[in-house]
Amino acid sequence: MKKTLNAFSVHEKIEIRLILLLLPLFLILALAAQASKDPTPQRAIVVDDYFSLKRVGDPQISPEGKWVAYTVGSSNLKEEKTENQIWMIPVKGGDAIPLTAKESPSFRPRFSPDGKYLAFLSARGENAQTQVWVLNRQGGEAQPLTEVRQGVLSFDWSPDSQLLVLLIQDPKPEDLEAEKMEKEGVKPAKPKPPHPWLIDRLQFKQDYIGFLDRRRTHLFVFHVASRKLTQITSGDYDDNQPAWSPDSKSIAFVSNRDPEPDLTLNSDIWVVSADNTDLGRTLLQVTKNPGEDENPVWSPDGKQIAYITTLDVKNFWYSTRYLAVVPSLGGEPRVLTRNVDRNMGSPQFGDAGKSIFFQFEEAGQVCLARIPAAGGEIKRTIDGPRVVYDYTLGKDGTGRVTLISEPNLPGEIFTGEGQALRQLTHVNDDFLKPLRFSMPEKFTTQSKDGTPVEGFFYKPLGFRLGTKYPTLLRIHGGPVGQYDFGFEYEAQLFAANGYAVVMMNPRGSSGYGQAFCQAIFADWGNKDYEDIMAGVDWAIAQGYADLDRLGVGGWSYGGMLTNYTITKTTRFKGAISGASLAIAAANYGHDHYQRYYEIEIGLPWKNREVWDKVSPFWLVENITTPTLWMCGEKDWNVPLINSEQMYQAMKRLGRETQLVVYPNEHHGIQRLSYRKDLYERYLAWYAKYVKGTK
C-alpha cells in the first residue's frame, strides 16, 4: 500500500526532502564515476597516427602446431627508421613473446621441420650483410648460421632439417677483389670510386636497383652440420622461389631460361638435384608453357607439383592466374581452376595431400579456398568482407593460420575458419583504441556503356544524411589490382578530414575476370575513365557529393588515370598526380617496362600513333584543374621525367601547379619524414582547392 507525503512523520518528511535534494548530486557523481571507467572518447585519425600503425606479416606455424611465429614492423619517425621484430604466440591464445630485438631488424622466420630451431634473416652490425641466423628453441641467443660475403636473399629448410636452400646473387667485382686480398693477407687500399656501369643487357634497369648488370641470382645448398656451401644452379638467368621435395633430395624453382630472357615474360618450373655439384646436369624442365609458371609446391608423396600459371601470353598481366598441377618428373599439366575466371595465388597442399589451398581474388575480397588435388569443386574456407593477405598450414596440412585485414582492422593473425574464425594477435589494439573510423560501403553502378562497375564509398566522419560533402575520387595503381575490404589508411585519413571518398574498381582492375581486366589493353584512359566517373556520378546521385567540391588523385597508374581524367573534364577543383605518365615514348629505355610496352602498344618507332594516343601530355592544354605533381627522384618504375614534363607544361601555360620531388626515393616513398610530408601535402592541397579553405 502506497503512502502520500502527508502520511509520513515529520522526521520521515525531512529525510525524504534531503534525499530528493541530494539525488541530482548523486546522479552527477555516479555518471562521473562511470565516465572514469569508460575508455578515452574516440577521435578522428591524424597524419601522425600512420607512424603508430604496425605491420604484421609472414605467419609461420610450428611443426607441432602449438606456436605461430610472425613479424611486426613499426615506424620510428624521430630516428627515421623502420623496425622489424619476430614474435611468437601460442595457437591456443595467450601472451606473445618477442624473439628478436627492434635494434636488429629481422624477418622471414622459419621453423626447422624437426622443431628444434627457428631460423630467420637479419643484418647485424655496421655494414653487415643479411645472413641466416638461428635460435635454439630450448633457449639461448641467436647465432649466425651463414657467412656469405654478398649476403643471403632468402632461404628455406629441407624437410629433414639437415640442409638449407639459399638464394644468393653473384658477387660484385669489388667483393671478389676484397676476398682475394684477404686470402693473400693484403691490407685493403683506400676506397676506390665505383666502377663504371657496363651496360650490355636488353633489360638494363629496374626500380630500387637502378642499372642492371649480369650478376644473377642462383640456388645454393647449405649443409647445417658442416656449414658447407654448394652452388647448384648457374648461368645468365635468375633463379628464384625454391621449394624442397618431401625427401629432401630435389628442389623445384622458377626461372626464365629462354635464349633471351630479357625479351620475354616467360617463367617455367624446373627441378634440380640438391647435390647437383655439376651445376646443371640434373636440371629438369617441368613446365613448358610460354606464359608465367610460378609458386611451385610439392605434394606430400613427391609425385606432383602445384603451381600458378598464366595461359594467355599476349595479355600478360591482364591474364587470369590459374591453379595447376604437373607431374614432378614432367608431363602434361592439369589446370584445376580453368572454369573459374579469377586470379589464384599461393598454393599449398593440405589435408595430407588430398586438397590444395590457395588465395582467391574476387570483387574486393581475397578469400582462402581449397580444391581437391584431383580436381573438383572449389570451397571457400574464409571469405566475406575481408582480405586474406597470407596463410600457413600445419605440418600435416590441417592446422591453418591466416593473416587477415578488414575495413577497420589492419592485418592481424587469425586461426580457424568460417564462423569459428578467431583473432589471435592484437598488435594494433593500441593504435585502434582511441580512433573512430568510417565503415566503407561497397556499391555497384553502371558505366557509360552499361557495364556494371563496383566501388567503395567512405562517408566523412560525422556524416549527416541530406548534407553534401567535398568528395575525393581516389584511383588505385596497377592498373591490374583492386580496392578491397582491407584497411585503407589514406581513405580513413580523408574521411577524418571531412571528405567523402569514392574508390572505384574500373576496367583494368583484377577480381572481375579477364575480359573486364583486359578491356583497357592499349586503350588507357578511356573505358577506365568512364568507370571512375560513373562512381562520382553515383555519389552525386545519392546526395552525398558536392558537385562544386570534387577532387581526384592517385599514384602510379592511379596518377596516370588522374592525368587522363583532368585532360578530359574540368569537373574537379583539385588534383594530385603521383608518379604518373606524360609522354609514353620518353619512358622507353628510361623505365623498366620495355617488354610490357612492346607487347601492349608495340615498338615506338613502328606504332607511334598508339604511343601518342596513350600520352596525356599532348592534351595538357586542356588541364585547368590545379594539380600537384609528386614523384621520387630515383623512380625507375614511372620516372620523374613524366611529372617534370607535366609540371613544366602547366607552369608554361600559367596554370596553378606545383612539383614535389622526394630525394633518393623510388616508386614508393619510404623515408618516414617524406611519408609524413606527402600526407600533409595531400590534405593541404585538397583543403585549398577542393574545400576552398584559405
Taking 80 as the threshold, does the pLDDT of residue 8 lie above it?
no
Angle made by CA atoms 73, 366, 155, in degrees to the nearest 5: 45
Going by C-alpha positions, the residue among 198, 200, 283 that lies closest to residue 239 is 283
601 contacts 611 by C-beta, under 8 angstroms: yes
511 contacts 476 by C-beta, under 8 angstroms: no
DSSP string, 202-214: SS-EETTTEE--S
Q: Per-residue pLDDT averaged across 336-344, rounded?
A: 95
The pLDDT assigned to 606 comes to: 96
Q: Per-residue pLDDT averaged across 672-693, rounded?
A: 96
Output DSSP code: residue 509: B
The pLDDT assigned to 179 comes to: 72
DSSP string, 47-79: GGGGGG--EEEEEEE-TTSSEEEEEEEEEETTT
149 contacts 160 by C-beta, under 8 angstroms: no
Taking 50 as the threshold, does the pLDDT of residue 13 lie above it?
no
**Burial category of 209 from C-beta neighbours within 10 Å (exposed 0-12, middle 13-18, buried 19 and up):** exposed
Residue matched to cell numbers 509520513: 8
564 contacts 616 by C-beta, under 8 angstroms: yes
Domains in the chain, ordered, with CATH? Answer: 146-177+203-285 (no CATH), 287-398 (2.120.10.30), 436-691 (3.40.50.1820)
Output DSSP code: residue 265: -
Residue matched to cell numbers 604437373: 326
Which of 36-45, 277-286, 496-505, 665-674 has the least mean pLDDT? 36-45
Phi and psi dihedrals of 127, rounded to 5?
A: 60, 20
Taking 60 as the threshold, does the pLDDT of residue 20 lie above it?
no
pLDDT 10s digits, 435-478: 999 999 999 999 999 999 999 999 999 999 999 999 999 999 99
The pLDDT assigned to 19 comes to: 36
User: Which residues, at least 6 apart from 559, have a Cβ–Cβ distance to it below 8 Å?
Assistant: 475, 477, 553, 577, 578, 579, 580, 581, 638
Q: Per-residue pLDDT averaged across 54-79, rounded?
A: 95
Most confident of 18-27, 55-64, 132-141: 55-64
Kind of pairing, strands 387-393 and 400-406? antiparallel
Output DSSP code: residue 385: S
Q: How many other C-beta atoms can be found within 10 angstroms of the C-beta atom of residue 203?
A: 14
439 contacts 501 by C-beta, under 8 angstroms: no
Cα 15 to Cα 23: distance, rounded to the nearest angstrom: 12
The pLDDT assigned to 128 comes to: 86
Average pLDDT, the chain: 91
Taking 60 as the threshold, does the pLDDT of residue 577 lie above it?
yes
The pLDDT assigned to 9 comes to: 39
Buried b (16+ CB within 10 A) or exposed e, 92-111: eeeebeebbeeebbbbbbbb
Taking 60 as the threshold, does the pLDDT of residue 4 lie above it?
no
Under the banding of pLDDT at 50, 70 and 90, the label for residue 12 is very low
Going by C-alpha positions, the residue among 565, 585, 575, 673 that lies closest to residue 630 is 575
Angle made by CA atoms 607, 612, 615, in degrees to the nearest 5: 135
Report the chain's terminal Cα–Cα distance, integer Å: 70
pLDDT 10s digits, 97-114: 999 998 889 999 999 999
Q: CA-CA distances (angstroms) from residue 185 to 178, 180, 191? A: 10, 9, 17
Q: Per-residue pLDDT averaged across 412-439, rounded?
A: 94
| Single-letter code of the amino acid located at 682 | Y
Buried b (16+ CB within 10 A) or exposed e, 385-402: ebbbbbbbbbeebebbbb
Taking 90 as the threshold, does the pLDDT of residue 177 lie above it?
no
- Identify the helix (H) or strand (E) that includes residue 501: strand 500-505
632 contacts 666 by C-beta, under 8 angstroms: yes
Sheet holding 55-61, edge to edge: 55-61, 67-76, 81-90, 97-98
User: Could you give the percent of the chain with pLDDT greater than 90?
Assistant: 82
| Single-letter code of the amino acid located at 563 | N
The pLDDT assigned to 609 comes to: 96
Cα 307 to Cα 82: distance, rounded to the nearest angstrom: 33
Cα 490 to Cα 476: distance, rounded to the nearest angstrom: 12
Under the banding of pLDDT at 50, 70 and 90, the label for residue 24 is very low
386 contacts 380 by C-beta, under 8 angstroms: no
Taking 50 as the threshold, does the pLDDT of residue 37 lie above it?
no
How many whole angstroms from its chain centre is CA 252? 25
Taking 70 as the threshold, does the pLDDT of residue 123 lie above it?
yes
Q: Per-residue pLDDT averaged across 229-256, rounded?
A: 96
Going by C-alpha positions, the residue among 461, 458, 442 that lies closest to residue 386 is 442
Cα 443 to Cα 539: distance, rounded to the nearest angstrom: 10
Kind of pairing, strands 500-505 and 469-475? parallel
Q: CA-CA distances (angstroms) from residue 581 to 210, 532, 570, 643, 644? A: 19, 18, 19, 7, 10
Q: Per-residue pLDDT averaged across 52-71, rounded?
A: 96
Under the banding of pLDDT at 50, 70 and 90, the label for residue 277 is low
The pLDDT assigned to 396 comes to: 72
Q: Per-residue pLDDT averaged across 249-259, rounded?
A: 96
- Grid cell, residue 47, equals 597524419
The whole model's pTM is what?
A: 0.90
- Grid cell, residue 354, equals 588430398
Which of 92-96, 170-174, 451-455, 476-480 has the least mean pLDDT? 170-174
Q: Per-residue pLDDT averaged across 198-227, rounded?
A: 92
**Burial category of 656 from C-beta neighbours within 10 Å (exposed 0-12, middle 13-18, buried 19 and up):** middle
Cα 70 to Cα 331: distance, rounded to the nearest angstrom: 37
The pLDDT assigned to 418 comes to: 81
Q: Which residues pair with 432 in a beta bridge?
A: none
Residue matched to cell numbers 617463367: 267
Q: How many other C-beta atoms can be found within 10 angstroms of the C-beta atom of residue 143?
A: 10
The pLDDT assigned to 176 comes to: 75
Q: Give long-range contacts, CB 8 A cutoff, 24+ apart: 316-319.
A: 316/265, 316/596, 316/599, 316/600, 317/480, 317/596, 318/480, 318/508, 318/514, 318/517, 318/518, 318/521, 319/291, 319/514, 319/517, 319/518
- Grid cell, residue 89, equals 604466440
Q: 3-state DSSP call for residue 457?
A: strand
54 contacts 410 by C-beta, under 8 angstroms: yes
- Grid cell, residue 360, equals 582467391
113 contacts 160 by C-beta, under 8 angstroms: yes
Q: Per-residue pLDDT averaged across 644-662, rounded?
A: 98
120 contacts 108 by C-beta, under 8 angstroms: yes
Under the banding of pLDDT at 50, 70 and 90, the label for residue 18 is very low
Going by C-alpha positions, the residue among 187, 296, 200, 288 that lies closest to residue 239 is 296
Output DSSP code: residue 518: G
Under the banding of pLDDT at 50, 70 and 90, the label for residue 29 is very low
The pLDDT assigned to 306 comes to: 98
Taking 80 as the threshold, does the pLDDT of residue 23 lie above it?
no
